């Protein structure tokens, strides 16, 4: 049985949005629009480089520390991605839309 499209889709950060750390937590900013995000959403945001599907995101987000099984983790990731996408902070692309030519993240480079 084939998977639902959302699980294999690839979220990518909107090009015109920046994330900043504020004293009370992280926010996403598009010009004058400010959107507060949770620490979990911030983790997701950092990983949305156009390379990872939702399944990959769920796997990357330290599942053991989430104290939940894989299916539950995927549901949490999906809910967060849908919330961010609804505000236009993320674009959700079909799998393979960006491909392997995207640059590695600076965080990866640092590691």
Rule CB under 8 A: which residues touch other proteins?
13, 15-16, 18-23, 29-31, 46, 103-107, 109-111
Q: How far is the CB of 15 from other proteins (least distance, A)?
A: 4
Helix (H) / strand (E) element for 22: namely strand 18-22
Q: Which is nearer to other proteins, 8 or 105 (CB)?
A: 105
Q: How far is the CB of 59 from other proteins (least distance, A)?
A: 21
Identify the CA nearest to 57 among candidates 29, 36, 84, 86. 84
CB atoms within 10 A of CB 20: 9
Q: Which is nearer to other proteins, 62 or 109 (CB)?
A: 109
Q: Which is nearer to other proteins, 86 or 106 (CB)?
A: 106
Do residues 73 and 63 make contact, with C-beta atoms less than 8 angstroms apart?
yes
């Amino acid at each position: 049985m084939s998977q639902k499209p959302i699980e294999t889709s690839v979220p990518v950060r909107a090009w015109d949005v920046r994330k900043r750390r504020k004293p009370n937590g992280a926010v996403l900013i598009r010009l004058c629009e400010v959107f507060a995000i949770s620490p979990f959403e911030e983790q997701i945001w950092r990983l949305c480089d156009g390379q990872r599907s939702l399944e990959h995101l769920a796997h990357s987000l330290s599942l053991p520390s989430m104290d939940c099984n894989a299916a539950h983790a995927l549901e949490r990731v999906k809910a967060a991605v849908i919330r961010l996408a609804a505000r236009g902070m993320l674009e959700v692309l079909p799998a393979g839309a960006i491909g392997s030519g995207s640059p590695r993240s600076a965080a990866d480079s640092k590691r």
